[in-house]
Structure 1
Amino acid sequence: MSVVGLGKKNFIFSNWARIHSCKPQLYFQPSTLDEIVALVAEAKSHSKTLLTVGSGHSPSDLVMTEDWLVNLDNYNNVLEIRRDPSGLFADVTVEAGMRLYQLHKHLADEGLAMQNLGSISEQSIAGIISTGTHGASPYHGLVSQQIVDLTLVNGKGEVVYCSSDVNQDIFRAALLSLGKIGIIVKATIRTIPAFKVKSSEEVVTFETLLEKWETLWVSSEFIRVWWYPYAKKCVLWRGQKTEEPTTTPRQSWWGTKFGRFFYEALLWIAVNIYPPFTPAIEKFVFNRQFGKVETVGDGAVNVAGSVEALNMDCLFSQFVNEWAAPLNNGPEILRSLEHSINVAAANHDFYVHVPVEIRCSNTTSTNEESSSTVQEEIRGRSTTSPGPVRGNNLRPYLDNTPKLNYAPLSDVTNSQLTLYINATMYRPFFTNSPIGQWYKIFEETMGAAGGKPHWAKNFIGSTEWAEGEAKEESKYQDGEMRGFATKNREWFGEDLEAFKRVRAEQDPDGVFLSSKPWLVKNGII
Structure 2
Amino acid sequence: MDHQEDTAPMDGSFIVIPKDTSSSTAPSTLTQEEQHKHTTTSAATTITTATTRTKTTATLVSSYDSNEKAFLLKKELKALSTPNKVFQNWAQTFRCMPEQYYTPTSEEEVVKIIHLARMSGKHVKAIGTGHSPSDLACTDGFMINTDKLNNVIKVDDDKMTITVQAGMKLHKLHDILELHDLAMSNLGSISDQSVAGIMSTATHGTGAEYPSMCASVLALTLVTATGETISCSKTEKADIFNAAVCSLGALGIITRMTLQCEPAFRLENKQEPAKLNDVLNNLDSIIHSAEHVRLWWYPHTDNVVVWRANRTTKEISRPVASWSTSRWFSVHLYQGLLYACRFIPRMIPILSRFMFWATQSKSIERVDTSVKVFNFDCLFAQYVNEWSIPWSRTAEALKALDQFIETGTVKDNNRVATTMAKKEAPLKVHFPIEIRFVKKDDVWLSPAYGVDSCYIGIIMYRPYGKAVSYKRFWAGYEKIMASFDGRPHWAKAHSVTPEDLEKSYPKMKEFSAIRQRLDPEGMFLNDYLRRHLVVPI
**TM range, smaller chain:** 0.7 to 0.9
From 415, 421, 445, give the equivalent of 2:480: 445
1:93 aligns with 2:105: no
Which residue of the partner structure matches residue 397 of structure 1?
A: 444
Identity of aligned residues (%): 34
The one-letter code of the counterpart of 1:90 is M
Which residue of the partner structure matches residue 521 of structure 1?
A: 531
Q: Contact (CA 8 Å) 2:270, 2:365: kept in 1 or not?
A: yes
What secondary structure does 1:351 align onto?
Answer: coil
The one-letter code of the counterpart of 1:112 is L
Structure 2 length as normaliser, TM-score?
0.81
The one-letter code of the counterpart of 1:343 is T
Q: Report Cα offsets for 1:498-525 as digits up to 9, x if no partner.
A: 1111112112332212x2x322322425
1:38-187 equivalence runs, <5 A:
38-84=112-158, 89-187=159-257
Q: Contact (CA 8 Å) 1:156, 1:508: kept in 2 or not?
A: no
How far off its partner does 1:122 sit? 0.4
With over 3 angstroms needed to count, the CA separation of the structure-2 counterparts of 1:523 and 1:109, relative to structure 1, is: closer
The one-letter code of the counterpart of 2:100 is L
1:243 aligns with 2:313: yes
Stretches of structure 2 lacking an aligned partner (at least 5 in a row): 1-71, 409-420
Distance 2:434 2:167 in 1: 29
Which residue of the partner structure matches residue 27 of structure 1?
A: 101
Which residue of the partner structure matches residue 515 of structure 2?
A: 503
With over 3 angstroms needed to count, the CA separation of the structure-2 counterparts of 1:283 and 1:171, relative to structure 1, is: same
Which residue of the partner structure matches residue 501 of structure 2?
A: 488
Cα RMSD after superposing both structures: 1.6
The one-letter code of the counterpart of 1:352 is V
What secondary structure does 2:261 align onto?
Answer: strand
The one-letter code of the counterpart of 1:264 is Q
Higher RCO structure, 1 or 2 (CA under 8 Å, sep 6+): 1
Which residue of the partner structure matches residue 205 of structure 1?
A: 275
What secondary structure does 1:509 align onto?
Answer: coil
Distance 1:59 1:255 in 2: 26
1:434 aligns with 2:447: no
1:154-303 equivalence runs, <5 A:
154-249=224-319, 251=321, 253=324, 255-271=326-342, 273-291=343-361, 299-303=363-367
Stretches of structure 1 lacking an aligned partner (at least 5 in a row): 294-298, 365-394, 405-416, 462-482
Distance 1:402 1:111 in 2: 31
Q: Contact (CA 8 Å) 1:53, 1:70: kept in 2 or not?
A: yes
Once the two structures are overlaid, the 10-residue window that deviates more, 17-26 or 247-256, is: 247-256
Q: Contact (CA 8 Å) 2:242, 2:444: kept in 1 or not?
A: yes
Distance 2:234 2:330 in 1: 48
Distance 1:362 1:323 in 2: 15
1:350 aligns with 2:421: no
Distance 1:115 1:227 in 2: 25
Q: Which has the larger radius of gyration?
A: 2
The one-letter code of the counterpart of 2:396 is E
Q: Report Cα offsets for 1:309-330 as digits up to 9, x if no partner.
A: 0012111211111011111111
The one-letter code of the counterpart of 2:465 is F
How far off its partner does 1:258 sit? 4.3
The one-letter code of the counterpart of 2:213 is V
The one-letter code of the counterpart of 2:497 is F
1:7-22 equivalence runs, <5 A:
7-22=81-96
Distance 2:195 2:306 in 1: 29
Distance 2:126 2:341 in 1: 37
Which residue of the partner structure matches residue 330 of structure 1?
A: 394
Distance 1:518 1:100 in 2: 25
Q: Contact (CA 8 Å) 2:269, 2:367: kept in 1 or not?
A: yes
Q: Contact (CA 8 Å) 1:250, 1:302: kept in 2 or not?
A: no
Q: Contact (CA 8 Å) 2:274, 2:303: kept in 1 or not?
A: yes
Structure 1 length as normaliser, TM-score?
0.82
Q: Contact (CA 8 Å) 2:82, 2:100: kept in 1 or not?
A: yes
Q: Report Cα offsets for 1:163-188 as digits up to 9, x if no partner.
A: 11111111111111100101111111
The one-letter code of the counterpart of 1:484 is T
The one-letter code of the counterpart of 2:440 is T
Q: Contact (CA 8 Å) 2:99, 2:142: kept in 1 or not?
A: yes
Distance 2:500 2:384 in 1: 20
Q: Report Cα offsets for 1:119-177 as digits up to 9, x if no partner.
A: 10000001011101011000111101111111111111111111111111111111111
What secondary structure does 1:439 align onto?
Answer: helix
Distance 2:435 2:330 in 1: 24
Q: Contact (CA 8 Å) 1:316, 1:428: kept in 2 or not?
A: yes
With over 3 angstroms needed to count, the CA separation of the structure-2 counterparts of 1:47 and 1:255, relative to structure 1, is: farther
Distance 1:452 1:111 in 2: 36
Distance 2:466 2:259 in 1: 38
Distance 2:203 2:319 in 1: 26
Q: Contact (CA 8 Å) 1:324, 1:402: kept in 2 or not?
A: no
How far off its partner does 1:83 sit? 2.1
Q: Report Cα offsets for 1:193-244 as digits up to 9, x if no partner.
A: 1100001101001111112112111111111000012231100000011110
Q: Contact (CA 8 Å) 1:40, 1:511: kept in 2 or not?
A: no
Distance 2:186 2:284 in 1: 23
Distance 1:361 1:347 in 2: 39
Q: Contact (CA 8 Å) 2:319, 2:364: kept in 1 or not?
A: no
The one-letter code of the counterpart of 2:249 is G
Distance 1:245 1:157 in 2: 50
Q: Contact (CA 8 Å) 1:402, 1:451: kept in 2 or not?
A: no
Q: Report Cα offsets for 1:335-356 as digits up to 9, x if no partner.
A: 1111111224994232111000
Q: Contact (CA 8 Å) 1:360, 1:420: kept in 2 or not?
A: yes
1:421 aligns with 2:495: no
How far off its partner does 1:112 sit? 1.0
Q: Contact (CA 8 Å) 2:406, 2:426: kept in 1 or not?
A: no
The one-letter code of the counterpart of 2:387 is W
Q: Contact (CA 8 Å) 1:150, 1:184: kept in 2 or not?
A: yes
The one-letter code of the counterpart of 2:534 is I
With over 3 angstroms needed to count, the CA separation of the structure-2 counterparts of 1:319 and 1:198, relative to structure 1, is: same
Q: Contact (CA 8 Å) 2:293, 2:437: kept in 1 or not?
A: yes
Q: Contact (CA 8 Å) 1:203, 1:235: kept in 2 or not?
A: yes
Distance 2:383 2:518 in 1: 33
